[in-house]
Copies of this chain bind each other. A is one copy, B any other.
């Protein structure tokens, strides 16, 4: 397998994640060819002008003809169509990876297109992002100090796994392996449910008679709590469609706990309400201690 430093790397989808990966790899691998693929040629031209890529293509099939590494930087439900497009031309030794937020579904799509999950396919997911989307929101530092989860299968080629691990390490990410199923359950709790709640809460409040007034008197806490409700709707539709089962499982636990909290409100149960606030505060302090080495990405509002 060719070293990354001499590789032709193709990134299909040059949005927030694909664009940030291109920027980071371009810095780390000055001699690699980094080709961006997308439909928005103006964005690709900006990426070329920014020196985030060394070339671009608007047709993924042409870009993949001589690829050593192909990264699918697409929303989960756009991956299957892209795979069908590139599968006939993908060089047999090329390493294929993705950045999708739901690993079970991406592996299933690969299986449908290839008839089996090829040994050189390494499912991946960088745990980084922003409520902003598109190439113009991308940052070379997006993955710095963050985790990237890889979910290799039994048949995954160890050399391909090592190469993809190395690729993410070059971006400053800490790379962790786990099963796809475990990934999808963990992300349902830490990411998919919070996003669902933020989308749903903003939607509930905006349907109230005086939503304008309600938003007018909201403060910084509300802004932070609902920041993730500004995230890309297509990406999140795809996540909710493909990780619905795990998300409903943790949503049901949450709704069950919420019923107890509701009862404590009705009962004016000072002890229960105080305990809830205290426990949550302590848990979040533990969470912050875990995160403390991860730098915060720039704010966008």
Contacts and interface: CB of A to CB of B under 8 A. Distances in A.
19 contacts: A129-B221, A147-B217, A147-B219, A189-B208, A190-B218, A190-B219, A191-B221, A200-B254, A200-B261, A201-B254, A203-B283, A206-B286, A226-B287, A229-B283, A230-B281, A231-B277, A236-B273, A236-B277, A237-B274
Name the residue in A127, A190, A206, A214 with the highest tally of chain B Cβ atoms < 10 Å from its Cβ: A190
Contacts of A146: 219
A274 B233 contact: yes
Contacts of A149: 217
A172 to B, nearest CB: 14
Given A221-B228, A251-B262, 10 more contacts: A190-B214, A194-B222, A195-B221, A197-B258, A199-B280, A199-B281, A202-B280, A222-B287, A237-B277, A248-B266
A251 B37 CA distance: 45
A201 B131 CA distance: 20
A207 to B, nearest CB: 8
A258 B200 contact: yes
Contact of A276 (B200, B208, B210): B200
A297 B219 CA distance: 10
Q: How large is the interface on A (under 10, 10 to 19, 20 to 34, 35 or more residues)?
A: 35 or more
B273 A219 contact: no
B197 A278 contact: no
Interface of A: 127-131, 146-147, 149, 176, 186-187, 189-191, 193-208, 210-231, 233-234, 236-237, 240-241, 244, 247-248, 250-255, 257-258, 261-262, 264-266, 268, 270, 273-274, 276-281, 283-288, 290-291, 294, 296-297, 299, 301
A284 B131 CA distance: 11
